Structure 1
Amino acid sequence: MHESRAHRRPSLRRRLLLLLLLPMLLLLLIDAVVTYGVALNYSNEVHDADLADDVRTLAQMFRSGKVSGDLPAEARFLIEYDPDSHNYYSVRSSRRGLLSGNGTFPEPPAPAPDAAPELFYSRLSGRTLRAASLSLRAPDDPGDVLTVTIAETLHDRQQRAREILLLAVPMQTILILGALSLMWLGINRGLRILQPLTDRLAAREHELEPITGEDVPVEILPLTRTIDGLFERLRAMLSLQERFIADAAHQLRTPLAGLRLHVDRARAAHDAATVHDALDHIDQLTQRTARTSTQLLALTRAQSPWTERSSHVPVDLARQIPQAVGQRVPEAIRAHIDLGYHGPAGPVWVLGDAPALQELLDNLIDNALRYAGRGARATVTLLPLPDGGVLLQVEDTGPGVSAEALERLGERFFRAPDAPAGGTGLGLAIVQQIAHRHGAQVAFGNAPEGGLRISVQFPAPAKS
């Protein structure tokens, strides 16, 4: 149970909801801060207006002559009374000093007489106060200026702002939860657009056709195109497998039938000469079958779509080719063919797959040794080109190939009509496929001395 929870499959719905939930929570936090700021600003404006009205009322009492000095107890109670905080006041005379007050707090310079109330911040006993001050001329002494100031703490302002915030946040939370619920429903409904694609894939049995259609959403096009690419590679692999099976059945049918025939012949023979001749034929057919199987496998590897050119590494042909030629010299001697090599002393680099290039070179040399004939010469030449490319040539002095046959060299299972027996018709096809994988060009032609010349031109390595 715990293991299944720990390995719970990822959910696109949950992921989308979480990606939306976190910004929503951040938005709610930002909105709460902004709401509190707006509410506090509104509360300050309302309280400032009330504070200005209070100082005007108190000034009017002095202007009408109802109060000449200290405030009556009833007036002080109305000014000071606040259930949540405390208010302060002071009345100062420019000639007589402080006439009345319940707190000494710093005041700015007195405003001009009969001007609008001036609002300012002040401090008393470590608390911040918001004050309103107004000046008027004393009724009993026109030369005297009275300054009336009323101040209050900020507690009530902040309390009103918090009350507004507590009213707004629940409503905003409900709105966000509602929005998330609608988003959840929208995500569920939006994901239904994948259902036609799912149904189309479920209805398939052995088809590997592309799945990208007009009903595929833009957001999953990269996924469907990747799947289409996978299907294409699978089709190529299956096609290669089917071709290999068909080629193997076609090419091995004749030697296997010959093997069966000579086995029956050897069994029915009553003399040693006939048995020996049948065994010689069986040996030849066995070698032919083994070579055909090897060539078929080599061609399949060369045609494989799984080998990428991006995996190629630098290969020094000036070192690899002489070694390959040297290994075939004993075979050339037995065939009475003069096998040689011409190339530069320094390294010659190409980007490629070293085993595949070895396979290419082996098939070129094998083609020359097999078809050049006794007494011929076969020369392997390596030549760096001015553009950075490399030219590999295998040339012999054998009978050559007719113009009609030259056009078909490199086709699978094609052999020139006058070619000696024993070949499979796959060697040059393997050369073609390996060269194609390396971006090289293969050209077939007759040499000046009448033999066959096969040229493989490798491109210059790409500059990074």
Structure 2
Amino acid sequence: MSQWRWGRQSLRRRLLTTVMVPLLLLLLMNSLITYIGALIYANHVHDKNLIDDTLTLVQLMATESPDGRVTSQAKFLLEYDPNGHNYFSVFSAKHGLVAGNPTLRPPDGLFKDSSETQLYDIQIEKHALRAASIQMTNPHDASDELEVNVAETLRDRHIEAQQILLLSIPAQTLLIFAAFMLVWLGVRTGLRQLDPLTTQLANREHDLAPIGDQDVPVEILPLTRTIDGLFARLRGMLALHERFIADAAHQLRTPLAGLSVHAERAQASADPATIADALNHIQRLIQRANRTSKQLLALTRAQTTEHEAGDSEPLNFAVVIPELVGLRVHEAIAANIDLGYEGPEGPLWIDGDRHRIQEMLDNLIDNGLRYAGEGALMTVMLSSQNDNIFLVVEDNGPGVPPAWIERLGERFFRVPGSAEEGSGLGLAIVQRIAEWHNAKVRYFAASQKGGLRVEIVFPAMHT
């Protein structure tokens, strides 16, 4: 159980890890800043002591060394350093080196702008040193100038900075640990705000109502809104299924009832003519039920408005539409209908699904073959204007009375008085497929003499 739990992703662990790593980096950065600050402080203190040592050496030479020499005791104190080695030098303008290390000299121009005690960095025998220098009149010879230099290694400064750092690290670590514990408690308490939402969802059985934004933390609103979107899609799918069942029951009730009646006729009669007539009716009803079931399935597919990756592709209507029309020419010839195509030679591109376009065009042609009548003329036309592509199917049949044109495209609607059998789903399928392609369907009278013109306006694809 423990392995399963640790093997899964944990929001709590991820949040704590996300916080812990920056806290550790903060500890390292704070330690570096502390060390730099301690080193600056140590440098400031040692620089002040270095100046004091230089002034002390000057005072010593003025009061206790009438010949300008430095006693051995004073030399020992100046050079003694338990962790390294210190240096000093005294130079006379007349006599050169008076005492100390001859290599300890300030850089040229150090006293150009000021005669006060000056600090500088120097390197002697591969040792980095910090030095202080002062120029003064020889107290025993007013015509002579003395240059007094005192230098020390940097070791003590770094040791003191390290000691300060080591003293501060435990306190900083404790502070970081306390901050981490507070964050852990905050994350634990904050995640408990998800418990009511989890309980609410767990108590649902078939309820797909939206969760809503009320009492939902702002940070998880994107998640709950995504869940609400999923619920909405599920409600749509369930409604689609329920509608399909209702449509199927509505459309198949009549042919199934007819099948039962004619089957009983065939069983009850011994007359071959009656039996043959009943079987003929049964065959026609089976064909009608078969066509209706196919159109119901097509309508269900067409009503799925969600686009998924790979559903659509660039289609050149100037190539696709003539090919699809050509597939139906033999049926038009059998029905004694002149089916033709008119369109430009140049490409007309849309973003669409070829199978849905074929389903839509087949239903438009079926509608014309069924209702235009023998000897009719049906034309499929393509054109473009501005950023739109127009697909038009027009016939010169009896057409649709103006009072009923607005209802074309409704499910199960059939123009009253039509002699041809139909399910009333063909134009509804066309309507749904057009909506899937963000296209608009318009119906017109083809001419004053009759006929129907179906015009579908597609948005052009910019290539």
SS in 2 for 1:447: strand
Q: Which runs of 5+ in 2 are unaligned?
A: none
SS in 2 for 1:459: strand
CA distance in 1 between counterparts of 2:346 and 2:145 reads 108
SS in 1 for 2:156: helix
CA distance in 2 between counterparts of 1:345 and 1:51 reads 97
5 Å-filtered alignment, 1:299-448, equals 299-307=299-307, 311-335=311-335, 337-344=336-343, 346-347=345-346, 349-351=348-350, 352-373=352-373, 375-448=374-447
Q: What residue identity is the alignment partner of 1:456?
A: E
Task: Please give the root-mean-square deviation of Cα atoms over the aligned residues, in Å.
Answer: 2.8
Closer, same or farther: CA 403–122 of 1 in aligned 2, 3 Å: closer
Cα shift readout 1:12-50 (whole Å, capped 9, x = no counterpart): 222222222222222222222222222122112212222
User: TM-score, normalization: structure 1?
Assistant: 0.89
% same residue: 50
Partner of 2:86 in structure 1?
87
CA distance in 1 between counterparts of 2:443 and 2:181 reads 72
Q: What's the CA shift for 1:297?
A: 0.8
CA distance in 2 between counterparts of 1:66 and 1:322 reads 119
| 8 Å Cα contact 2:395/2:453 also seen in 1 | no
Q: What residue identity is the alignment partner of 1:379?
A: M
CA distance in 2 between counterparts of 1:360 and 1:120 reads 91
5 Å-filtered alignment, 1:10-409, equals 10-101=9-100, 103-108=101-106, 116-307=116-307, 311-335=311-335, 337-344=336-343, 346-347=345-346, 349-351=348-350, 352-373=352-373, 375-409=374-408
CA distance in 1 between counterparts of 2:389 and 2:319 reads 14
| Deviating more after overlay: 126-135 vs 296-305 | 126-135
CA distance in 1 between counterparts of 2:39 and 2:282 reads 105
Closer, same or farther: CA 268–164 of 1 in aligned 2, 3 Å: same
Q: What's the CA shift for 1:2?
A: 10
| 8 Å Cα contact 2:344/2:383 also seen in 1 | no
Q: What residue identity is the alignment partner of 1:133?
A: S
| 8 Å Cα contact 2:208/2:231 also seen in 1 | yes
| 8 Å Cα contact 1:236/1:305 also seen in 2 | no
CA distance in 2 between counterparts of 1:395 and 1:250 reads 31
| 8 Å Cα contact 1:135/1:147 also seen in 2 | yes
Closer, same or farther: CA 156–315 of 1 in aligned 2, 3 Å: closer
| 8 Å Cα contact 1:309/1:438 also seen in 2 | no
Closer, same or farther: CA 444–127 of 1 in aligned 2, 3 Å: closer
Q: What residue identity is the alignment partner of 2:414?
A: R
CA distance in 2 between counterparts of 1:240 and 1:302 reads 11
Q: What's the CA shift for 1:313?
A: 2.7
Closer, same or farther: CA 299–347 of 1 in aligned 2, 3 Å: farther
SS in 2 for 1:64: helix
User: TM-score, normalization: structure 2?
Assistant: 0.89
Closer, same or farther: CA 65–144 of 1 in aligned 2, 3 Å: farther
Q: Which runs of 5+ in 1 are unaligned?
A: none
Q: What's the CA shift for 1:140?
A: 3.8
Cα shift readout 1:99-155 (whole Å, capped 9, x = no counterpart): 333x3323126969x954333333322212222333444444332334333322222
CA distance in 2 between counterparts of 1:326 and 1:400 reads 24
Closer, same or farther: CA 301–78 of 1 in aligned 2, 3 Å: same
CA distance in 1 between counterparts of 2:440 and 2:140 reads 118
SS in 1 for 2:429: helix
CA distance in 2 between counterparts of 1:314 and 1:138 reads 99
SS in 1 for 2:7: coil
Q: Number of matched residues?
A: 459
| Deviating more after overlay: 241-250 vs 177-186 | 177-186
| 8 Å Cα contact 2:66/2:140 also seen in 1 | no
